[in-house]
């Protein structure tokens, strides 16, 4: 079992124990352990097998979880989880998440109606079976149907990029509210997570009633969920929740730090504060002994009160940020202005929408100094992939137009070459060897066994004409899981053979993820952030890749296409000599 699989076991354990009302400290231990394992940038199996390291000493693990990890690594299962699954049907847990239903009513519905899915519950409501059960009635039945639709929609986290559009629209609306003097978005949106479950807006307003009225006047509001003295929650676009909290000016920094999170980061902040004789909450920083207020107006004050510099929101996941902050080694995270090149894009020669010249001109408009044209190879028939003759013809065209751009843009002759299902590359070496930049990618056979997919990618890495592995895990966020691949083996091979790994900036991919990026940084594997653009507008997704890179702790020095063209060309050639 790998890290995500082990983490998933502990997450499920925590959920089932919580449903049964078990000890909350025990539940939290499993939750913390799951998070700690997911955040590791090295295989937990290697740590467990290292005689000089003690798994139980890792933050968030402890002796009990270390023992269970040993069982999972040895057997692949945990008897405790099997027993819990039998005692709490999955459909009961799903029903308990419906607004207003709860665990007891969910269990009764399951017992009375023998339901196996939420669809069964919906059908029972429509047939009047729920209303007939004692303690429910027509009103409850109707609210369950409404709740089913809301729960289904609200449970779907949206891409950060989509949340960003909502934020932009709401910000444009709210900036016209004269009573608001200060506002900032918080939560997972501010931490730039791949997906966002809801939005948190903090504001300081001289008239809170008017501020809430102004939010409710937003044209995109579908409904108001609740409205109190200091908080209002609305739904936009039918189901997506937006919360606005109104705070005092001297509380704003503390509230922003608190509601930005993550929960694990905040727990660590409070632990350090306690060591300083302080307590930190959303209202400010106070001395424990006499409740004297110490800080809270700004985030800078909050962190300074516990002896730390401000930590970038993208790093606030309780991974390495406190160690870096204490040692004054917080990374200077990559910025959009650092980018010089884009090494993955498609043209109308395959499934793109623009010509080489149009993509080149658009790249110049965005301040880039080099690009690689990387259309698909022939295996991708649905995209009209290039065979040997068509590819060489395209490269000839690039050779012919290079002089037009020589003082503004370097155009590399590239290809996104498929790694075939049986292994090997989609185009012969004698052709690939004539290119400047060869991406290798998996598009087919994604459900093959782990060893088979891993071997295919390792074979591509060992090919002397391949420079980089594109979207290495093949995931599509919320739509397709990563294929089974041993990323630790892939990274070690990339390091050994001097290959780049891609961070695909498409918001549906963001592949590599932040944990993989942190591992690549540790191994000193150069990352290239590429847009995989299929039209001019696609070049603009670069910013999403940069935000993902920041979550992985990457600096400009960790990303190869922040180099100027001469330095990048030299690095590309030198990497191939490793």
Report the alpha-carbon distance of residue 434 to residue 415 in Å, rounded: 11
505 neighbors 529 (Cβ within 8 angstroms): yes
The verdict on 427 and 570 lying in the same domain is yes
The verdict on 285 and 379 lying in the same domain is no
If one counts the domains in the chain, the total is: 5
The verdict on 421 and 533 lying in the same domain is yes
- CATH code: domain of residue 340: 3.20.20.140
Report the alpha-carbon distance of residue 262 to residue 253 in Å, rounded: 15
Q: Is residue 432 part of a domain?
A: yes
* R_g of the chain computed on alpha carbons: 26
Q: What is the pLDDT, as a whole number, of residue 81? A: 84
For the record, the structure tokens of 330 come out as 């917080």
Q: What is the pLDDT, as a whole number, of residue 261? A: 92
Peptide bond into 213 cis (omega under 30): no
184 neighbors 245 (Cβ within 8 angstroms): no
Report the percent of the chain where pLDDT is more than 90: 71
- CATH code: domain of residue 309: 3.30.210.10
CA 342, chain centre distance (Å): 21
Q: Is residue 252 part of a domain?
A: no
Q: Is residue 257 part of a domain?
A: no
Among 82-91, 215-224, 407-416, 552-561, which is the least confidently predicted range? Answer: 82-91
Q: What is the pLDDT, as a whole number, of residue 395? A: 98
* 119 burial via Cβ count (<10 Å: 0-12, 13-18, 19+): exposed
pLDDT classification of 154: cutoffs 50, 70, 90:
very low
- Tell me which of 57, 87, 117 is where a domain ends: 87
The verdict on 70 and 110 lying in the same domain is no
Q: What is the pLDDT, as a whole number, of residue 150? A: 59
Average pLDDT, the chain: 92
Q: What is the mean pLDDT of residues 477-492?
A: 91
Q: Is residue 564 part of a domain?
A: yes
For the record, the structure tokens of 407 come out as 């003082």
Task: Identify the three-state secondary structure at position 243.
Answer: strand
DSSP state of 377: B
The verdict on 561 and 456 lying in the same domain is yes
DSSP string, 38-66: HT-SS-HHHHHH-TT--GGGSTTTHHHHH
The verdict on 429 and 471 lying in the same domain is yes
Q: Is residue 322 part of a domain?
A: yes
The verdict on 104 and 174 lying in the same domain is no
Range of the domain at 44: 3-87
- CATH code: domain of residue 14: 1.10.150.110
How many degrees, rounded to 5, is the angle at CA 442 between CA 441 and CA 445? Answer: 165
pTM score, whole prediction: 0.81
Q: Is residue 132 part of a domain?
A: yes
The verdict on 54 and 166 lying in the same domain is no
State pLDDT tens for residues 5-24. 898 889 888 888 877 778 88
Report the alpha-carbon distance of residue 260 to residue 314 in Å, rounded: 10
- CATH code: domain of residue 191: 3.30.460.10
Q: Is residue 254 part of a domain?
A: no
- Tell me which of 41, 61, 87 is where a domain ends: 87
Task: Identify the three-state secondary structure at position 215.
Answer: helix
The verdict on 150 and 164 lying in the same domain is no
State pLDDT tens for residues 497-549. 999 999 999 999 999 999 999 999 999 999 999 999 999 999 999 999 999 99
Q: What is the mean pLDDT of residues 349-368?
A: 96
DSSP string, 184-213: EE-HHHHTT-SEES-EEEEEEES-HHHHHH
Q: What is the pLDDT, as a whole number, of residue 85? A: 79
pLDDT classification of 142: cutoffs 50, 70, 90:
confident
The verdict on 399 and 547 lying in the same domain is yes
Q: What is the mean pLDDT of residues 190-210?
A: 96
The β-bridge partners of 468 are 439, 500
Q: Is residue 292 part of a domain?
A: yes
pLDDT classification of 110: cutoffs 50, 70, 90:
confident
Report the percent of the chain where pLDDT is more than 70: 97
Report the alpha-carbon distance of residue 155 to residue 197 in Å, rounded: 7
- Tell me which of 102, 120, 154 is where a domain ends: 154
The verdict on 279 and 409 lying in the same domain is no
For the record, the structure tokens of 503 come out as 């961070």
pLDDT classification of 577: cutoffs 50, 70, 90:
low
Closest CA to 323 of 518, 516, 65, 524: 518
The verdict on 452 and 463 lying in the same domain is yes
């Amino acid at each position: 079992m790998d890290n995500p699989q082990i983490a998933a076991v502990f997450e499920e354990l925590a959920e089932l124990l919580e449903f049964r009302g078990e000890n909350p400290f025990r539940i939290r231990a499993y939750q913390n352990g799951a998070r700690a394992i997911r955040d590791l940038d090295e295989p937990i199996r290697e740590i467990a097998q290292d005689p000089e390291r003690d798994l139980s000493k890792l933050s968030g693990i402890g002796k009990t979880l270390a023992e269970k990890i040993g069982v999972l690594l040895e057997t692949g299962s945990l008897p405790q989880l099997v027993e819990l699954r039998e005692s709490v049907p999955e459909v009961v847990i799903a029903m308990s998440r419906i607004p207003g239903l709860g665990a007891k009513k969910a269990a009764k519905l399951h017992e009375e109606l023998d339901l196996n899915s939420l669809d069964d519950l919906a059908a029972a409501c429509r047939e009047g079976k729920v209303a007939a059960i004692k303690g429910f009635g027509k009103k409850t039945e109707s609210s369950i149907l409404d709740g089913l639709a809301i729960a289904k929609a609200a449970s779907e986290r949206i891409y950060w990029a989509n949340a960003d559009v909502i934020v932009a629209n709401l910000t444009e609306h709210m900036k016209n509210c004269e009573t608001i003097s200060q506002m900032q978005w918080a939560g997972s949106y501010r931490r730039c997570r791949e997906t966002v479950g809801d939005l948190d807006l903090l504001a300081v307003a001289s008239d809170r009633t008017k501020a809430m009225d102004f939010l409710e006047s937003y044209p995109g509001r579908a409904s108001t969920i609740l409205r109190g003295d200091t908080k209002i929650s609305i739904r936009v676009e039918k189901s997506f929740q937006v919360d606005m909290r109104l705070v005092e000016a001297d509380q704003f920094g503390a509230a922003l730090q608190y509601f930005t999170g993550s929960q694990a980061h905040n727990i660590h902040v409070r632990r350090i504060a306690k060591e300083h004789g302080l307590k930190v909450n959303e209202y400010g920083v106070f001395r424990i002994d006499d409740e004297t207020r110490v800080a809270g107006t700004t985030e800078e004050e909050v962190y300074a009160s516990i002896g730390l510099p401000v930590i970038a929101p993208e790093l606030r996941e309780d991974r390495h940020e406190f160690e870096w902050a204490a040692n004054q080694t917080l990374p200077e995270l990559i910025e959009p202005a650092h980018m010089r090149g884009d090494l993955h894009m498609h043209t109308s020669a395959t499934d793109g929408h623009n010509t080489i010249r149009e993509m080149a001109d658009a790249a110049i408009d965005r301040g880039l100094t080099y690009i690689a044209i990387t259309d698909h190879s022939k295996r991708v028939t649905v995209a009209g992939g290039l065979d040997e003759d068509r590819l060489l013809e395209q490269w000839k065209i690039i050779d012919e137009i290079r002089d037009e751009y020589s003082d503004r843009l370097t155009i590399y002759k590239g290809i996104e070459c498929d790694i075939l299902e049986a292994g090997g590359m989609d185009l012969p070496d004698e052709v690939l060897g004539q290119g400047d930049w060869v991406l290798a990618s998996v598009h087919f056979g994604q459900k093959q066994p782990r060893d088979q997919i891993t071997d295919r990618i390792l074979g591509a890495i060992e090919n002397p004409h391949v420079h980089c592995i594109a979207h290495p895990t093949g995931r599509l966020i919320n739509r397709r899981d990563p294929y089974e691949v041993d990323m630790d083996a892939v990274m070690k091979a990339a390091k050994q053979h001097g290959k780049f790994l891609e961070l695909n900036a498409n918001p549906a991919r963001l592949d590599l993820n932040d944990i993989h990026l942190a591992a690549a940084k540790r191994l000193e594997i150069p990352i290239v952030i590429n847009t995989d653009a299929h039209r001019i507008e696609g070049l603009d997704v670069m910013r999403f890749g940069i935000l993902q890179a920041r979550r992985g702790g990457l600096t400009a020095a960790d990303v190869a296409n922040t180099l100027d063209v001469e330095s990048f060309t030299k690095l590309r050639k030198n990497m191939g000599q490793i």
